[in-house]
Amino acid sequence: MSSREDILGRVRARLGRNTENAATARKDIEAAIDGRVQGPRPAVPTDTAGLVAWFEEKSAAQSSSLDRVATLADAPAAVARYLAGMNLPLRAVIWPSLAGLDWRAAGIEVAPRGAVDSDLVGITGCFCAIAETGTLMACSAPDHPATVSLLPETHIALVPMSRIVPGMEDAWNLARAELGSLPRAVNFISGPSRTGDIEQTIVLGAHGPYRVHLVIVERE
């Protein structure tokens, strides 16, 4: 007997599985999956201003830094200002989907590809952002390599204001509506990587970025 059959067989026996109750149970499973019932959710403002303010507050609590620009075209200059202010090089690996912005005009040299170890700055967008916890949702795709938000010490993300949603449930619904099925990797990112393993003292910058900087884009 295969281990699969052995394990499932014992579970079935313990649950008293038979053909009738299996049919009922399968209906429950389909109902659960189709129903997608949401549990209790913390209250988060739903008006745009309140939502953005909430996202900013929670992002700051996750140790992300924040900036705002009016349009996407203003983003490169804002990113350049941030990099200069932090004494970071004006050189970054970037999601290929964002390579079309005029980074050169802002003095930033960008490489549209997946990240490598020597990249110090990574620039990404996001699929959407979650106000409840100050979280970015990044979906992997050929134009959105997952390494860009992971390997560099500094991660800069452009966050369109229109893509800020109240909670993770809303993010899933957006993904279902726009992507159909889930991409290979959905990464929720809430501030820089950290560890508390030594004496439960939180240190920012473990294996991922030391810094996460969010540039909120008011209009696209």
Task: Give residues 14-53 in contact with another protein (rule: CB under 8 A).
Answer: 14-17, 22, 25-26, 28-29, 32-33, 35-40, 42-43
Residues 95-114 that bind another protein (CB under 8 A): 113-114
- Cα–Cα distance measured from residue 79 to residue 123, given in angstroms and rounded to the nearest whole number: 9
Q: Which of 8, 70, 84, 86 binds another protein (CB under 8 A)?
A: 8
Which of the ranges 66-74, 83-91, 99-107, 130-138 carries the binding residues for another protein, by CB under 8 A? 130-138
Residue 144 is classified by DSSP as: B
CB burial class (10 A; 0-12, 13-18, 19+) of residue 91? Answer: middle
Which of 72, 150 has the CB closer to another protein? Answer: 150
Which residue lies nearer to another protein by CB, 38 or 162? 38
Among residues 53, 84, 179, 203, the one that binds another protein under rule CB under 8 A: 203
Q: Is 146 helix (H, G, I), strand (E, B) or coil?
A: helix
Residues 48-87 that bind another protein (CB under 8 A): 58, 61-62
Instruction: Please pick, from the candidates 6, 57, 109, 220, the single residue that binds another protein as defined by CB under 8 A.
Output: 6
154 part of the interface to another protein, by CB under 8 A: no
Task: Single out the residue of 67, 194, 211, 217 in contact with another protein (rule: CB under 8 A).
Answer: 194
For the chain, how far is it from start to end, CA to CA, in angstroms? 59
Burial label for 144, CB within 10 Å (0-12, 13-18, 19+), is: buried
What lies within 8 Å, CB to CB, of 61 at 6+ separation is: 134
Phi and psi dihedrals of 125, rounded to 5?
Answer: -100, -150
